[in-house]
Structure 1
Amino acid sequence: MNEIEKLILPFEEEVINILKFYNDSSYSPYSNFKVSACLVIRKNDKIVYIGGTNVENSSYGLSICAERNAVFRAIAERMNPLDYEIVWLFLSLYVPVEKFITPCGACRQVISEFVEDIPIIIYNKKFNKKTLFLREIFKEKFSPSDLK
């Protein structure tokens, strides 16, 4: 067990319950690939869980991934990571397959808008887990400085 997994151990049961709930909420009639995500934000002693699920549309470009759904919900719930003195924040991603699936490029870009790096805990359908860091899977990002 790595250091991040030790840190999340006290919260893991709640995270898994949230992931299961949002996985059941998935609207994925085209791919039948249900994905859920849970952001965990800690500020001082306050822990906030923000869940999200994928929502598909027959016009695929209008679909949204679980990870972006969770990030956008965090913003809507006034949990903007930029406004918090973040002790840690991580994304737990649950997918109903045996292999570990990482966030897509769009989700990586959205997450990187708010944090430079976070651990991403990925669970497969057996709830085995793998920990990656955003910096490992997203080395070059588009940033505000690119607009100047």
Structure 2
Amino acid sequence: MKTIKIETEFEVYDDLNDVPKNVSELMEYAVKARLRAYAPYSKFLVGAAILLDNGEIVTGNNQENACYPSGLCAERTAIYYAGSKYPEAKIVLMALIAGSTKHKTTTPVPPCGACRQAISEYEVKQDMPIDIYFMGETGEVIRSKSLSNLLPFVFEKAII
């Protein structure tokens, strides 16, 4: 038997005023995308914005459905659109904002497990880490320099 020790590192910013300018600008796209989310069941709105290496910005938001498994998270909506429209582009930066319409969300909200796996697929495909910033409606912003911090054991095509 052996033991594997996994260490992750995150940067925590007090709020959007402390993040780099390009991140706050991208987060504004995520904020606008969040306002267009369709979440009549959970009342939990999520917005995502992605900066590609070609300079394009792609956004997405969560889209719910009465048959819950048929909905799609903001992160996957954005990342799949980016992959569809700009298949050769690499994802440089991703900004995420999430919050409930029932109460103020001040805790940073990371991508869910399914979104982590989807982001991982693109990170592996492009052989370059994706810089991810996530937050609640207000308050701290967390930065992960790679999806591998959030999902250290990725399920990838090399396995299958």
Tell me which interval the TM-score lies in, with the shorter structure as reference length: 0.7 to 0.9
Q: Which has the higher contact order (CA 8 A, sep 6+)?
A: 2
Aligned length: 134
Q: 2:37 aligns with which of 5, 26, 48?
A: 26
Give the TM-score normalised by the residue count of structure 2.
0.75
Query: Which region of structure 1 is more displaced relative to structure 2, 115-124 or 134-143?
Result: 115-124
Q: Which moved more, 1:124-133 or 1:100-109?
A: 124-133
CA distance in 2, matches of 1:119, 1:16: 13
Gaps of 5+ in 1: none
Instruction: After TM superposition, give the deviation of residue 55 of structure 1 in Å.
Output: 0.3
Give per-residue Cα distances to partners, 1:107-135, cap 9 Å, x unaligned. Answer: 11111111143221012211531112311
- CA shift at 1:106, angstroms? 0.9
Q: Secondary structure at the match of 1:26?
A: coil
Q: Which has the larger radius of gyration?
A: 2
Q: State the identity as a percent.
A: 25
Q: How does 1:1-148 map to 2 (within 5 A)?
A: 9-43=20-54, 47-77=55-85, 79-80=86-87, 83-84=88-89, 86=90, 89-96=92-99, 97-116=105-124, 117-126=129-138, 128-132=140-144, 133-147=146-160
Amino acid at match of 1:140: F
RMSD, matched Cα = 2.0
Give the TM-score taking structure 1 as reference length: 0.81
* Secondary structure at the counterpart of residue 70 of structure 1: helix
Task: Return 5+ residue gaps in structure 2 as ranges.
Answer: 1-10, 100-104
